[in-house]
Every structure is written in structure tokens, then in C-alpha cells.
Amino acid sequence: MPALALPFTLIGRTTLAILATIGQVTLFALSTLSHLLRPPFYFREFLSALMNIGWYSLPVVGLTAFFTGGALALQIYSGGARFNAEAVVPSIVAIGMVRELGPVLGGLMVAARVASSIAAEIGTMKVTEQIDALVTLSTHPMKYLTVPRVLAATLAVPVLVAIGDIIGIMGGFVIGTGRLGFNESVYLQNTVDFLEPWDIGSGLVKGAVFGFIVATMGCYYGMSSGRGAQGVGRATKSAVVAASVLILAANYILTEAFFSA
């Protein structure tokens, strides 16, 4: 092969590999949705996944939202002071949290914690041949492992986003009233006056989409994990990276759909 053609060969192989992965992930997601609509449904696995994804992710999501809301209030106040527009801090903090920062940061925190956990758990089950044992026992791995986790994440992440929005706005309130000198009642009134129902609803829709992405990526890379500890490690890393990138891409697409002029 001529040396001049080598870069184009590498580009072509990389492009084909990316397209193949996109196709495999799409088919995996569609298969998950199809199994979700057909019995049996393993309710105990669903409750366990709901507890692991929802309840145990609440501390990290809450802390992230609180400090983000406080930092956002400081930044907006600092920038608004250049134009004598310090009064917009409460409204922009609220809108920024519920529309954008709450869903995205919540989704990324859940991706870092949950996608890695799911990929490692399912990958280890594959390495130790527990998935083969499920097949031997006439239990479909997709129904037993994937469907409960994907459904739990799709339902739990919007709740986490809603709680994170409240905590983030409270972080801005604490900094705004305690550090920046805002009146408590005026700050809360401006927050309520400038928020619209669709601002909150759009963030919750994003949360559901991000939850689906996180669990799907964790299950897909866990199911396709290579043998041995290195295979599980690669699956865990790939799940977190893919979930994070897809969350950011989906966020732009949803924002364009919801708020484009």
C-alpha cells in the first residue's frame, strides 16, 4: 500500500467502525424498547435498579447542583455589574438551572456513577459466565439485566433533575442573599415570576432522555465487554465516555427543538 494512501485508509476504517458502533447501539436500544413492551417483567430487579440509580445518586447530584447554583449567581452578578444589571441574577440562575445546568450536570454525574457501575456489573457477569447461566435457565438477559435498569434510569433521572433544580436555585439564593446583598423575598419573587412551566418541563424531558442514554450505554458496553479484567475496564471507560458525549449531543438537539426561534 502506498504511504500516501495510509492516512485515508485509517480515516476510512475509523469512520466504518464508528458507523458500525452507531448501528449496533441503535439496534440494542430498539431491542430494549421492544422487550420493555413484552412480558415477563422482573419487578424486583427494577426496584433494586431504581434504588441504586435514584436514591444513591442523590447526594452527588445535590452537592453538584448546590455549588453550581452558587457559582452561577456569583458569575452572573459579576458580569451583570458591568452593565448595571445585577437585578437579573435570580431569574437567570433559575432559568439556567432548570433549562440547562440542572439536566446536563445531573445527567453527567449519573453517567459517571451509574454507567460505569452498570457496565462493570454486567461485564463481570459476562466474564464469569453468569449471563450464559441465565440463558441456560431460560431467562432472557435483555429482559433480566437491561430492561429494569433502562426503565429505572428513565424514571429516576427526571426526579433527580427536579431535586437538583431546587437545590441549585437554593444555592443561588443562599449566595445571593448572604453574599451579594439581595433581599430574600425579592429574590424568591423574581425567581417565581420569570420561570415558566415549559422551562421546568423541558428540563424533565431532558432528564428522561439522559437517563435512557446512561443506562443503555452501560448495558450495551457491559454486554459487549471483552474477556478478562482488561475487557471489563475498557467497557466501563467506554460506557462513561459514550454516555457523556451522547448526553451533550442530545442536549443540543433537544434545546434546538424546544427553544429555537
**pLDDT attached to residue 212:** 94
| Residues with pLDDT less than 50, the chain | none
Q: What is the dihedral of CA 194, 156, 59, 185, to 10 degrees?
A: 20
Q: Look at the alpha carbons of 178, 179, 183, 188 in this order and tell me if their dihedral is positive or negative.
A: negative
**pLDDT attached to residue 3:** 66
The pTM score is 0.89
Q: Give the cell for residue 57.
A: 445518586
**pLDDT attached to residue 164:** 92
**pLDDT attached to residue 261:** 56
**H or E, element range at 162:** helix 147-178
Buried b (16+ CB within 10 A) or exposed e, 79-90: eeeeeeebebbb
pLDDT of 222-234, one tens digit each? 888 777 778 888 8
pLDDT of 100-110, one tens digit each? 999 999 999 99
**pLDDT attached to residue 226:** 75
